[in-house]
Amino acid sequence: MSVGKVYLVGAGPGDRGLITVKGREAIKKADVILYDRLVNFSLLDDAPPNCELIYCGKLPTRHFMRQNEINATLVRKAIAGHTVVRLKGGDPSVFGRVGEEAEELALHQIPFEIVPGITSGIAAPLYAGIPVTHRDYAGSFAVVTAHDKSKNGKPDIDWEGLARGVQTIAFYMGVSNLEHICENLIQFGKSPDTPVIIIRWGTWSRQQSVVGTLSTIVEKVREAKIENPAITLVGDIVSTRDKVKWFENRPLFGKQVLYVRGKAEEENRASKWMEQGADVIEFPRWIVKEKAIDSAVLDQLSVYEQILFLSKESVEAFFAQLKKSKVDIRKIQAELYCQNHSAITILEEKGLFADHVDKLSHQGSMLTVGSEEQEKIGSCLNNDLFASVYETIIDERYETIINRSLEDATLTTIVFTSSEAVKLLMEKGNQYGISPKEINQSVEFVCETAEACEALKKYGFAVGKHENDILIESL
């Protein structure tokens, strides 16, 4: 067996759109991904369905995997012939210990690539409305770790050179040493009135900023109860914030949403809400697995007068199977119909045009295409020809991921797509660390359907909003 390859990838600081094209391509071909706590877990959606996902996050007080364990796992998986992605928050070379991992791989003669990422010391200030350089304020910029290998845990750096020679300074993970940082910068030349901003969870919807000066910021941070992960930015450049602030003005900024979908086929609005500034945790995560089409169905493809697709997943799986079986789509002579508009859109992308099921005549031979769970719909349509082309299951790989996401989030909203979604959360929520009764006091429930509202009421919960009262897009 040949040795695999390792990609050491920077995932960016949080906003999932900040990963590089090369980083995303590495994820798409990975057999194994080792991912950190500060990675936006939605990036894992691009991983292949059979990719092994290994959490190796680190907290100040506990590590799920020590660095030597991470190194050993990278080596072991690569030697087994796998394509391995080490997905690290921000840029892997900026306090990301990529040098140690690369050295270990080189020692074992394992091929690897390092894919740079956007570092939080630049991105977090920009999302708070602050460029790190500006012709009127700052022509120099430095990134500094606020934790190093010093015995007392205080950063051992050239304070005088930093205070006198650099106009904008970004300290990483500096909350616990903030008082030490401020005292030394003042002692070695910075004015006590130098502006400072602390940015927690930069580029996420949960982003929180506290502004002060070197003489006031410590007390303000204590009052706001700010903890890591956070960037501390020091310099006159902080004064540009009020003019340049943009991210926090998004309509859904501050919303942290648990999005519960009862079926894989239900429309997924997560991306739309994220574009408007919300953080979205999807529960559960669904896998769509294609199934081979019966050869008898393929043999009769040119005979069917009507074909009904019950979901966009059925369209995608059906045509994927035609391709695998080397069946020319020009054999399809039928009129095409779809259960929903998203399926119609997928067909149009293939150069095929369909009508909504409402226009179906039910005359002539008809093939219904869907999943095993949808086969009863074919029976209701008095149709004996049903092609089951896929099945849906809950992706158990995401149990750990959802747990970790909820640990760091402070939910504001839970959205239910259907009555099935309500039932799923009530029956499986505790397995993922979600207790609806515990969070009901502080979280608003939103339903996309009247059926979901009724299901919630049966479980004894009050409904905050539903689609008839307010556009669901605005939560």
Catalytic center residues? 36, 58, 173
What residues contact 331, with CB distance under 8 A and at least 6 apart?
A: 301, 302
Phi/psi at 303 (5° precision): -90, -30
Q: What is the largest CA-CA distance in the chain?
A: 88
CB 175 within 8 A of CB 221: yes
Contact 29, 48 (CB under 8 A): yes
Q: In what order do the strands lie in the sheet with 230-234?
A: 141-145, 168-172, 230-234, 195-200, 208-213
CB environment 173-190: b (16+ within 10 A), e (fewer)? bbbebbebbbebbbeeeb
Please enumerate in sequence order all residues whose Cβ is within 8 A of that of 427, keeping only pairs 6 or more positions apart, or say none. none
Write phi, then psi, for 124 (nearest 5 degrees): -60, -45
Q: What are the strands, taking DSSP E only, across 395-432?
A: 413-416
Q: Tell me the C-alpha distance between 265 and 145, whole Å.
A: 46
Cβ neighbours of 59 (radius 10 Å): 11
